[in-house]
Amino acid sequence: MRFILRRLGFYLIAFWVSITLNFLLPRFMPGDPVSRMFARSQAQMKPEQMDQLRKMLGVDDRPLWEQYIDYLHNLFTGNMGTSISRFPTPVTEVIASQIGWTLLLGGTALAFAAVVGNLLGVFAAWRRGGAIDSALPPLLIFIGSFPYFWLAMGALYLFGVVLGWFPLRHAFSDTLQPDFSWEFVSDVGAHLVLPALTIVLVTIGGWMLGMRNTMIATNAEDYITMAEAKGLRPGRIMFRYAARNAMLPSVTSFGMSLGFVVGGALLTEVVFAYPGVGYQLLNAVQGLDYPLMQGLFLTITAAVLLANFLVDVLYVRLDPRVRVS
């Protein structure tokens, strides 16, 4: 329990840092939002309009601490301001309409890569020097060296443009209305394959190597020899004894890799014009939509922190040593 509280405290600090960062960035960075928008409008903006914008963004002449309190108040009442590029939709609404797609893409890719990668790692370590162990690691390291977005471009070109197996962009066909019909779900699935595949390809090597290296250490433990001496079935030793004990580092990486998957999803979403938060974040940056950009950043951060906290809770269930200390 003490451990959980400690971690909770840490995540609260982390969240406070990101909130404050979000507050300070537009106020202290050289590129002040309003003057940038002024420049973008080719100096067509009237002074009153600029004042209005300042007011809307909460960047005015009041002392900093007053702005900060206002900002915190707005945030905790769920008010992230109004999107500029999609005026007058509130930022929260824009995010809500998009976060589902990122969760779908990132979640599918992460789950698939973690499960398959770990299984491959288990098999590689179990038959050290076998086909899986000698051929896959170098290949996966090599594939993992490619930039996410480049693999995405390659996949889009090869499977989308040349072979025409999968749709090129967006999350579902324009002709369909979102509902729970078989037609719509399968269409979403077809649009999901390529973006998810690129994320899986890049990340799977890390999972496999991580699991393999821990498994090799676990395989040398006495209780494995003992289990063999008792004459247990190899499959049982492999999964119930060796893999189970080698799992902890993988669970830990799961939380951290969420951050990477969000980042990877951002790039992949841009290549495939997949309507998730990453794609929207880039659009917001290009459209100088500062409220939306900040809202998206906070949402992504909060999601990653929350997921990490859940992994910690799970960790306490899995590793008794953490509970004792």
Partner 1 sequence: MTASLASTPTDPAILSPQAVTPGSGKYDDDSSGGSDAPGGAANPGGSGVSGGRCRATRRSFTQGLLTNKKALAGTAILLLFIALALLAPVLFPDNPSKITGMASEEPSAEHWLGTTAKGQDVLALTIHGARSSLLVGLTVGLASTLIGIVVGLASAYFGKFVDEALSVTTNVFLLLPGLPLLVVLAAFLPPGLGTVIVVLIVTGWAGSARVLRSQALSIRSKDFVAAAVVSGEGPLRIMFREILPNMASNVMSTLLGCVIFGIGAQAGLEFLGLGDVSTVSWGTNLYWAGNEGALLTGSWWVFVPSGLCIALVAFALALINYAVDEVTNPRLRKIRAPKDRVPKTAAHKSGSSHSKAAQ
Asked if residue 305 binds partner 1 (CB under 8 A), the reply is yes
CB of 189 to partner 1, least distance (A): 22
Q: Which is nearer to partner 1, 184 or 224 (CB)?
A: 224
**Cα gap 93→120, rounded to integer Å:** 41
Number of residues interacting with partner 1: please give it, by CB under 8 A.
94
CB of 18 to partner 1, least distance (A): 6
Asked if residue 129 binds partner 1 (CB under 8 A), the reply is yes
Map the footprint of partner 1 across residues 150-169, applying CB under 8 A. 150, 153-154, 156-157, 160-162, 168
Stretch that binds partner 1, among 5-13, 46-54, 107-115, 184-192 (CB under 8 A): 5-13
Q: Which is nearer to partner 1, 200 or 209 (CB)?
A: 209
Q: Specify the DSSP element, H or E, that contains 325.
A: none
Q: Which is nearer to partner 1, 196 or 293 (CB)?
A: 293
Asked if residue 325 binds partner 1 (CB under 8 A), the reply is yes
Query: DSSP E strands: which ranges in 179-325?
Result: none
In three-state secondary structure terms, 250 is: helix
Q: Which is nearer to partner 1, 192 or 209 (CB)?
A: 209
Stretch that binds partner 1, among 63-71, 80-88, 179-187, 297-305 (CB under 8 A): 297-305
- Cβ partners under 8 Å of residue 109, min gap 6: 195, 196, 199, 200, 203, 261, 264, 265
Map the footprint of partner 1 across residues 184-223, applying CB under 8 A. 205-206, 209-214, 216-217, 219-220
The 3-state secondary structure of 283-320 reads HHHHCCCHHHHHHHHHHHHHHHHHHHHHHHHHHHHHCH
**Cα gap 58→91, rounded to integer Å:** 14
Map the footprint of partner 1 across residues 250-269, applying CB under 8 A. 252-260, 262-264, 266-267
Asked if residue 103 binds partner 1 (CB under 8 A), the reply is no
Among 166, 270, 280, 292, binds partner 1 (CB under 8 A): 270
292 burial (CB, 10 Å; 0-12 / 13-18 / 19+) is buried
Q: How many CB atoms lie within 10 A of CB 85?
A: 16
Q: Which is nearer to partner 1, 94 or 262 (CB)?
A: 262
**Opening angle at CA 210, ends 209 and 215, nearest 5:** 95
CB of 228 to partner 1, least distance (A): 6
Map the footprint of partner 1 across residues 15-34, applying CB under 8 A. 17-18, 22, 25-26, 29-31
Site mask, partner 1, residues 277-296, x = CB under 8 A? -x--xx--xx------xx-x
Long-range residue pairs from 312-316, CB within 8 A, at least 24 positions apart, any chain: 312/4, 312/7, 312/255, 313/4, 314/251, 315/248, 315/251, 315/252, 316/3, 316/4
At residue 129, φ and ψ (nearest 5 deg) are: 90, -5
Asked if residue 86 binds partner 1 (CB under 8 A), the reply is no
CB of 220 to partner 1, least distance (A): 5
**Cα gap 99→172, rounded to integer Å:** 15
